[in-house]
Amino acid sequence: MGNSATRMDLTSHGLTNLGTQHWDLGSALLTEHAIRRGEARLSAHGAVVVSTGEHTGRSPKDKFIVRDGATESTVNWGSINQPIDRSQFDAMHARVQAYYHGRDAFVLNCYAGADPDHRLKVRVVTETAWQNLFARNMFIRPPAEDLPGFEPDFTILHAPGLTARGERDGVRSSTFILVDFDRRMILIGGTSYAGEIKKSIFGILNYLLPERGVMPMHCSANVGPKGDSAIFFGLSGTGKTTLSADGSRTLIGDDEHGWSENGIFNFEGGCYAKVIKLSQEAEPEIWAASHRFGTVLENVVMDPVTRMLNLDSAELTENTRACYPIDYIANTSTTGMAGHPVNVVMLTADAFGVLPPISKLTPEQAMYHFLSGYTARVAGTEKGVTEPQATFSTCFGAPFMPRHPSVYGEMLRERIARHGATCWLVNTGWSGGRAGAGGERMKIAYTRAMVRAALDGTLSGAPVQDDGHFGLLVPESCPNVPTEVLRPRGAWSDGAAYDTTAGELRGRFVENFKPFEAFVDDSVKAAGVRRAA
C-alpha cells in the first residue's frame, strides 16, 4: 500500500465500508494510480491528461448553501447563492456515504491560505486519483510534521460519479455543489470538472474571512524587486494568470488572495491556467509548466500515438486547463505573502470592443467598477457558454461571493484609501468591433507593455485624456504601444458605429448599477458611467 496509510479514517465524515484508503500521496503515486485505473493518460512530457466529460466548466446554477439560523441573515440569497434545507443536505450526504461503500478513497489534508494567522485546514476526499492530484497541486501542502492529528476545518466529499435526482433531491439538475457552514462540509457530485473543488473552498473563505477583518479577492498577485505588490482582479479568461506570471516580478499567486492587516496572501499553492492556443513565445512560463510531470491537463487534445499536446485544439472545449504547483513558474514567492498593494488592476474582457485598453481610475471610479465587475464570459468557462457574452459579475467574482457585494466593496474602498493604492482598468478583450463581428482580441504584447508601464510608475504621471464616453482617463502614450491602440474609437472603421455601441454599453452599466446605489455615497455615484444622451 506504500504510504496509503490507515493512520486516519473517514468514519467521522460518515464514510464506512470503504475499499483502500490512500492518504496524502505524492504526485508520483497519484499519477501511477490514475494511469493504472484508466482515469488518465500520460503526455510525452509527463503531464497527466484527463477528460472531464460533459462538464468542461463550472456549474454555478447547481450550487446551494444550507439555510439556517447563522446563514439566514449573512448570505446574500438569490440566483447565485441558492438555499437548501438541512434535511435535503443530510439526505444527499447519506447518498454520498452509500456511494462510497466498497470504493477506494483518495484523501488529501491541506491548507487554504499562506498566512498562518488566517489559513483554513481542508480535507479533500475524492474517488479518483487524478482529482486528488489536482487538489494536491492547487492547495498548500503541509509539512510532514503537521499531518499527524490533522483535524480539518472544512471537508470536501467529492463524488463525480454520483448524480442527483433534480427536484427530488432539492436541487436543479443531476449536478450538485452543496455547502453546510455549520457542519463544515461540502458535497460535490454529478460533475468531473475539478475546478469545482478549488472554487468551493474559495467560496468558504469568502464567507468566513470578512468576519476576521480580511478581504477575500478573486485576483492574481505579484511583487516587484522593490517590494511593490500588485493585484489583478478579473474573471476566468481575462488574463489574471497570464499577466501576473511576469518574469520581471515575483509571482505570489494566480487566482485567489486575501488582504489582511499584514498585507496580501495567496489562498492556494498552485495555478489553474487556461491553455487554449497557448503560445510558447508569448507565455513561456505557463507553456513550460504545462509540459511537466505532475501537471494535470483537463480536456487538452493529445496525439494518441506520439502523446504530443495540441494546445490549439478546442475539440473538447475552449476551456482547456493546466493545473500545476505554483513553483513550476520561475520566480515565485516562497511565502505566498507580500505587503499592501501599490497598484490595483481591474481586468475586463470587453466583448463590445469599446473600452480603452488601459485607463487610470480615481478611488471612486475604482469602487464603481469593482461593484460593476464588467467583463465577458469567455467560451467554455461555464457550461453552456460557447461564445463571448457581455456580463456584469460584481467584485469580479459574483459566483463565489456568499455575502452581499457591498461587504467586499466597502472593504476594498477602505484599503485603497488607507494604503494609497493606484487603480487601473485594463481591457484585455476586443478592439475595433464587437467580439465575433469584426473585433479582434487585444494583443498580449501590448497589454503586457501597458501593465508594466503602470506598475513601474511610467504611467502614473503621464498626460491623460477623457475617453469621451465612460469618463475614463486614458494615457496619451505608452512605451512599446502604438498610440492608435490607446484610442478605441480610432480602431473602428466606422466611428458612428463605435459611438452607438459605446452608448449601448453605457446603458447597461447604468441599469446594472441601480441595485448598488443605496450602498454607495454620492461621490461614487458621480464617478460612475452615465447613460448616453
- CA dist 301 → 228, 305, 316 (Å): 39, 12, 7
Backbone dihedral angles phi then psi of residue 20, each to the nearest 5 degrees: -80, 135
Each residue of 260-292: pLDDT tens digit? 999 999 999 999 999 999 999 989 999 999 999
For residue 1 the three cell numbers come to: 500500500
Q: What's the gap between Cα 211 and its chain centre?
A: 22
H helices of 155-218, where?
195-208
Each residue of 54-93: pLDDT tens digit? 999 999 999 999 999 999 999 999 999 999 999 999 999 9
Q: What angle do CA 482, 501, 425 make, to 5 degrees?
A: 50
For residue 203 the three cell numbers come to: 467560496
Beta-carbon count within 10 A of 321 CB: 28
User: E strands along 374-472, which residues?
Assistant: 374-377, 389-392, 422-427, 430-431, 440-441, 464-466
Each residue of 37-53: pLDDT tens digit? 999 999 999 999 999 99
- DSSP letter, residue 481: B
Alpha carbons 230 and 342: distance in angstroms, whole number: 6
Rounded to two decimals, what is the model's pTM?
0.92
Q: Averaged over 195-216, what is the pLDDT?
A: 97
Each residue of 109-153: pLDDT tens digit? 999 999 999 999 999 999 999 999 999 999 999 999 999 999 999
| Residue in the block written with cell 452607438 | 500
User: Which of these, 365, 366, 324, 374, lies nearest to 341 by C-alpha position?
Assistant: 366
3 pLDDT higher than 50: no
Beta-carbon count within 10 A of 147 CB: 16
Q: Is 533 exposed, middle or buried (0-12, 13-18, 19+ CB in 10 A)?
A: exposed
pLDDT interval class at 435 (50, 70, 90): confident
User: Which of these, 486, 480, 450, lies nearest to 468 by C-alpha position?
Assistant: 486
User: E strands along 326-445, which residues?
Assistant: 337-338, 343-348, 358-361, 374-377, 389-392, 422-427, 430-431, 440-441
End-to-end CA distance of the chain: 72
Each residue of 478-531: pLDDT tens digit? 999 999 999 999 999 999 999 999 999 999 999 999 999 999 999 999 999 987
The H or E element that residue 214 is part of is none
User: Which of these, 96, 97, 95, 124, lies nearest to 110 by C-alpha position?
Assistant: 124
User: Of 182 and 7, which is predicted with more confidence?
Assistant: 182
For residue 250 the three cell numbers come to: 515575483
pLDDT interval class at 378 (50, 70, 90): low
With a CB cutoff of 8 Å and minimum separation 6, the contacts of 21 are 4, 6, 9, 10, 104, 105, 107
With a CB cutoff of 8 Å and minimum separation 6, the contacts of 421 are 340, 341, 342, 343, 344, 415
β-bridge pairing 185-189 and 154-159: parallel
Alpha carbons 441 and 429: distance in angstroms, whole number: 5
Alpha carbons 171 and 489: distance in angstroms, whole number: 46
3-state secondary structure of 154: strand
**Structure confidence at residue 386 (pLDDT):** 61
Are the C-beta atoms of residues 102 and 17 closer than 8 Å to each other? yes
**Structure confidence at residue 375 (pLDDT):** 86
- DSSP letter, residue 516: G
Q: Which residues are catalytic?
A: 58, 199, 218, 236, 240-241, 255, 321
